[in-house]
Structure 1
Amino acid sequence: MTTTTTTKARGGFSLRDVTKTYGTGEATVHALRGVDLEVPPGELVVVLGPSGSGKTTLLNVLGGIESADGGRISAAGEELTGRAPARLAGFRRDHVGFVFQFFNLIPTLTARENVELIVELTGRGTRERVPELLEAVGLSDRADHFPAQLSGGQQQRVAIARALVTDPDLVLADEPTGALDTRTGRTILDLLQRAAREGRTVLMVTHNASVADMADRVVTMHDGRVESVDRNERPVDAADVSW
């Protein structure tokens, strides 16, 4: 049964006629073609679609990693349209937690230090919260291990802790369960679902259609466009997701 929370919801977003292209001439790739999407604060949203459908580009422009070529974007109460790179960086620092597909951990830092570094770089969150988050992801006993000493699933859990340590309004996760076993995958899904139930907005890109069962809203993309948006009235718990 889905639990409820009284925590204030944060981090909704809106995209209106958003476009993004890469390359020029015959090499032009239309990654986003007039995307319209609106999500209220505090929802867990799953984005489905084949490779090349624009899912990761959607995450990048929403999180301020890249600028859109056209259209309007607002997120977490801020207008992102036309922002200079420095102001987009400020938006990422103040509002967004990223979970990258390939972890992006710093190999010369331990698990604990990788999470602490985000606190130092952003000035948000506290060092005291790091042990709590590492315990939440089941890595208290691996806190002093370097990424090369951790399995892929353990590295991904460090990435989850790093994304949440600043208490972001918006959590963006790109294929967070890719290539993971069922048990580890469900652990990561549970962490993301808990983040949404605690009031954050979570947008998760995945190829695994069964994950859609736990979402509040399911967005299907194809060829750079939003093909459908479906509301899930009864999301299941992450532990009950079929794999």
Structure 2
Amino acid sequence: MNEPDPTKVDDPRGGFTLSGVNKTYGTGEAAVHALIDVDLGIRPGELVVVLGASGSGKTTLLNVIGGIEGADNGSVIVAGQQISGRPPSALGEFRRDHIGFVFQFFNLIPTLTARENVEVIVELTGRGDRRQIPELLAAVGLADRADHFPAQLSGGQQQRVSIARALETDPDLLLADEPTGALDVATGQGVLALLQQTSRAGRGVVMVTHNEVVAGIADRVIRMRDGRVVSDEVVANPVAATTIQW
């Protein structure tokens, strides 16, 4: 029986396929080749961890998948849509409708409560349902902190607000850039558990990190070096996030 090709995605929701993708910053001798001939794809329900040293192309990869930046060439199909070659305005609409982002720095609005920080994404995108916000905050363990401002929340609680905000619009794909980098182990475990739960609910989840230990929770581990994907490994038995120590 043939093994499935991880670069081919049959079910569009929550998956993506990159084929021959390149991204360069600058020109001439100052050019930085951030992505070089990248072929990669994931299926809905997969949690993929991308590992690599600083400057290996991890964040650029995430930005191209999420439509924050356009590829110079190659094909980028996300959630069943070809997004390569789209103008910035169209990429903005695509991000709004299909992608959830979780960053290392939480980007919460300090003058809004936890609940309001989630509500604001509904106002900005026109998607989501305010009525589900209490349930969503409860799911991330913040039912009793909904009316607290960011300054009244710990780093881990703020990160969980950002995850709730990312999930409020029911994105096809969740992208996380070093989401545990500023957190202690116990809090980081909670955030990783939420990412695992999100993938198990059928969404594609891609997490960029430099932390080798975190890769233990993944279904697949992608390694990058100098703008290239150098390995793509299936994890036979992902571990529970609550067992991760670093």
Distance in 2, Cα, partners of 1:224 & 1:146: 39
Contact 2:64 2:71 in 1 (8 A): yes
* Aligned pairs (5 A) from 1:210-221: 210-221=213-224
Single out whichever of 25-34 and 53-62 deviates more from structure 2: 25-34
Question: 1:48 is matched with which residue?
Answer: 51
Write the letter of the residue equivalent to 2:106: F
Q: Runs ≥4 in structure 1, deviation > 6 angstroms?
A: none
Counterpart of 2:130 in 1: which secondary structure? coil
Contact 1:32 1:54 in 2 (8 A): yes
Q: 1:17 aligns with which of 17, 20, 37?
A: 20
What TM-score does the superposition give when structure 2 sets the normalisation length?
0.91
Q: 1:166 aligns with which of 166, 169, 179?
A: 169
Distance in 1, Cα, partners of 2:143 & 2:43: 34
Question: 2:156 is matched with which residue?
Answer: 153
Considering only aligned residues, what root-mean-square deviation do their CA atoms show, in Å?
1.5
1:9 Cα deviation after fit? 8.6
Single out whichever of 222-231 and 147-156 deviates more from structure 2: 147-156
Write the letter of the residue equivalent to 1:157: R
Question: 1:228 is matched with which residue?
Answer: 231
Write the letter of the residue equivalent to 2:103: F
Counterpart of 1:61 in 2: which secondary structure? helix
Distance in 1, Cα, partners of 2:74 & 2:22: 6
* Aligned pairs (5 A) from 1:1-243: 10-243=13-246
- Which consecutive unaligned segments of at least 5 residues does structure 1 have? 1-7
What TM-score does the superposition give when structure 1 sets the normalisation length?
0.93
- Which consecutive unaligned segments of at least 5 residues does structure 2 have? 1-10
Distance in 1, Cα, partners of 2:215 & 2:13: 21
The percent identity for this pair of structures is: 70
Aligned residues: 236
Contact 2:12 2:78 in 1 (8 A): no
Contact 1:9 1:199 in 2 (8 A): no
Contact 1:45 1:215 in 2 (8 A): yes
Distance in 2, Cα, partners of 1:13 & 1:192: 18
Contact 2:104 2:182 in 1 (8 A): no
